[in-house]
Amino acid sequence: MADAGRHPNITLLTQSEIKSVSGYVGNFQVQILKKARYVKEDQCTACGDCVQVCPVLVPNEFNMGLSSRRAIYQPFPQAIPSAYVMDINNCLGYDPVVCGKCIEKCKKKCIDFNMNDQELTFKVGTIIVATGMEVYDPTEMDEYGYTRYENVLTSPEFERLINAGGPTQGQVLRLTDRKPPKSVAFIQCVGSRSQRRGEPYCSNICCMNTVKSTLMLKDHDPDLDVKVFYIDMRAFGKGFEDLFRRSKGMGVRYIRGLPGSIQEDPKSKDLILTVEDTATNQLEKHRAEMVVLAVGVKPPQDMKTIQEMLALQKNSDGFYLEAHPKLQPVDSATRGIFFAGCAEGPKDIKDAVTQASAAVARAVRLMNPKRLRVEAITAEVVAEDCTSCGICAKVCPFRAITVDTRAKTPARVTVAACSGCGTCAAECPSNAIMMHHFTDGQIEAQIDAILEQDPLQRILVFACNWCSYAGADFAGVSRLQYPPNARLIRTMCSGRVSEKFVWRAFEKGSPVVLVSGCHIGDCHYLNANHWTERRVKRMQKKMEKMGLRAERLQLEWISAAEGLRFKEVMEKMERLRQSVTEQEVTETKRILIDRSAVPEQEVQ
């Protein structure tokens, strides 16, 4: 930790927040707000003289309020930077009439009330998001009486109690009588693995953290009565089972079943736990002098700001979503941005550190060549055709397009930020975007060529490169057999499939059309497939209005692993195709040709 504070290549900014990030991989512009510390960071020697004169006393948040601190303070003894910090909201004020005692006391004159917040700007090539996690607040689980009974603690509070540098110098004491407890009970999965309250997932670290705590307790006092109530103990990592066995060997009792409620004995302030032991099916009562709730972890509350600023995605648990869960576990879907530690999901220190080093390797891999090759499949705006409506900028998942809708200047694509999904080209109402390597001309030529012979027999399929086309490949690799009528047109993303491609296919006599892509949430281009979904729905509505059977246009999400699903979709499409008569196709052609004769009002 100290190394990070003094490394010549590291600029450490504490009490700081990211204000904005612009640019793209290789060239991000970052604005940071560094709040005033009111103590000169480079001069304070952490002598602590100031603390002695400060009259203010507030709960120490680092010790979860189990002790107190002054308005000028050091967060914890090993803090980096070690300089003291002024809690300006609680400070009485620098007016010498009111207080200002610390200013006089500090011999080095490093307390400065005139310090201002600073706005700093940096240029960076890559970004690593390591914003970590928060712990669950068990207040809502009222049956455990966390807010009512003083001897019910959370695991972080217990960590501070048993910590040699903590409020009790490492002595575990009851808060009600300041005596060491003779019995301690741990309750697992508080706020984890529940569909009702807290979070549905396993928090990963609390089982082992409890095992650790029981060992520390038994080391302090081998006679202590320690019980752990659990659903199942998860000791899956290297060396974990050893610790678990040691804990049991030292006499810690592991009881399978979570207490339904805790009652406090009003006199002794002991706690009575009612629990059904699911191993014996007995309803039991256990008495403990202290209860520790092994609380789960969850994503930080303020995560949304960073998430939106960097256009990152979250998974259903609320942690950041990696580009690929197995093959790109530390990459985000945005090039040049990586994840490290619990920002991506709950994990222990070893995994957090491993992941950090992996993220560094990925970042260095990009930066080391000093120059970066960018995607060749990119969008380009044809300035003469652009009406500056701003739609492209709105739909681009990578915010690669800038357009000033008020000044009416044509849209511009930042080529290095464009990932090539083609959504902008599909949505531009003025046909002003040229999607290189997947141009209108190229795709329309394919549509025409496919429907040149026996169109009535054909199923025209648009498949995205990453999921549905890969799903078709997987069906092939698995030798699954399906009707031979489908003809695939590959695009990088389903977002590329313009309305006009579909209309053209129907106009050329296609009985059915399938648009397919990655499942929502799995899109290789963040959320481009949301636009696909909206567009297909919009087209289906238009078809209904025109008197066409909307079901002839289908949308399916097929992942790279869903070969079987691909086959089933092909069979479904074939049944659908057989339901379309020649007459229906002729009628469709007529309707569409009539329609294109009248300029259409674009409905957005």
Ligand X SMILES: Cc1cc2nc3c(=O)[nH]c(=O)nc-3n(C[C@H](O)[C@H](O)[C@H](O)COP(=O)(O)OP(=O)(O)OC[C@H]3O[C@@H](n4cnc5c(N)ncnc54)[C@H](O)[C@@H]3O)c2cc1C
- Stretch 121-150 residues interacting with ligand X (CB under 6 A): 130-133, 135
Report, in Å, the least distance between residue 497 CB and ligand SF4. Answer: 13
Q: How far is the CB of 148 from ligand SF4 (least distance, A)?
A: 23
- Residue 343 CB, nearest distance to ligand X (Å)? 6
Instruction: Pick out residues in 393-422 that bind ligand SF4 (CB under 6 A).
Output: 395-396, 398, 400-401, 403, 411, 413, 418-422
* Least Cβ distance, residue 167 to other proteins (angstroms): 12
- Residues 88 to 117: which contact other proteins by CB under 8 A? none
Applying CB under 6 A, among 70, 160, 335, 347 the residue interacting with ligand X is 347
- How far, CA to CA in Å, does 265 sit from each of 97, 181, 258? 50, 15, 20
Cβ–Cβ < 8 Å for 432, 381:
yes
Give the nearest distance from C-beta 415 to ligand X in angstroms: 30
Q: Is 302 helix (H, G, I), strand (E, B) or coil?
A: coil
Q: Which of 15, 147, 171, 409 binds other proteins (CB under 8 A)?
A: 15
Between residue 265 and residue 324, which ones bind other proteins under the rule CB under 8 A? 306
How large is the angle between the packed helices 499-507 and 440-450, nearest 10 degrees?
30
List the x/- string, 278-307, binding to ligand SF4 by CB under 6 A: ----------------x-x-----------
- Pick 314 or 530: Cβ nearer other proteins: 314
Residue 286 binding: pick among ligand SF4, ligand X, other proteins, none (C-beta 5-8 Å cut-off by kind): none
Span of 107-115, 132-140, 277-285, 542-550 interacting with other proteins by CB under 8 A: 132-140
Q: Pattern of binders to other proteins over 377-416, x per CB under 8 A? A: x--x-x--x-----------------------------xx
Helix 563-578 vs helix 468-477: angle between axes, to the nearest 10 degrees? 100
Q: Which of the choices ligand SF4, other proteins, ligand X, none does residue 491 contact, using the CB cut-off of 5 to 8 A by kind?
A: none
Comparing CB distances to ligand X, the nearer of 59 and 239 is 239
Q: Helix, strand or coil for residue 339?
A: strand
Q: Kindly state the tokens that stand for 456.
A: 């009535």
- Asked whether position 133 contacts ligand SF4 by CB under 6 A, the answer is no
CB 323 within 8 A of CB 336: no
Instruction: Tell me which residues in 218-277 interact with ligand SF4 (CB under 6 A).
Output: 234
157 or 270: whose CB is closer to ligand X?
157
> Please, are residues 184 and 224 in contact by the beta-carbon 8 Å criterion?
yes
DSSP string, 391-448: HHHHH-TT--EEEETTTTEEEEE-TTT-----HHHHH-TT--EEETTS-HHHHHHHHH
Task: State both tokens at 20.
Answer: 């904005």
In this chain, which of 76, 202, 272, 287 binds other proteins, going by CB under 8 A? 76
Q: Are 527 and 439 contacting, i.e. CB atoms less than 8 angstroms apart?
A: no
In the bound complex, what is the minimum distance in angstroms from residue 260's beta carbon to other proteins?
A: 29
Site for ligand X in 159-218 (CB under 6 A): 159, 205, 209, 212
Nearer to ligand X, 131 or 151 (CB): 131
Nearest alpha-carbon partner for 559 in 497, 493, 472: 472
Answer with the entry of ligand X, other proteins, ligand SF4, none that 469 interacts with (C-beta below 5 to 8 A by kind): other proteins
Q: Enter the tokens of residue 236.
A: 């899956």
Q: In whole angstroms, what is the distance from residue 474 CA to residue 471 CA? A: 5
How many other β-carbons are positioned within 10 Å of the β-carbon of residue 195? 7
| Cβ 75 vs Cβ 85: under 8 Å | yes
User: In whole angstroms, what is the distance from residue 398 CA to residue 433 CA?
Assistant: 16
- The string of DSSP codes covering 531-582 is HHHHHHHHHHHHHHHHT--GGGEEEEE--TT-HHHHHHHHHHHHHHHHT--H
Q: Which residues are near ligand SF4 by CB under 6 A? A: 188-189, 192-193, 202-204, 206-207, 234, 294, 296, 378-379, 381, 386-392, 395-396, 398, 400-401, 403, 411, 413, 418-424, 428, 430, 432-433
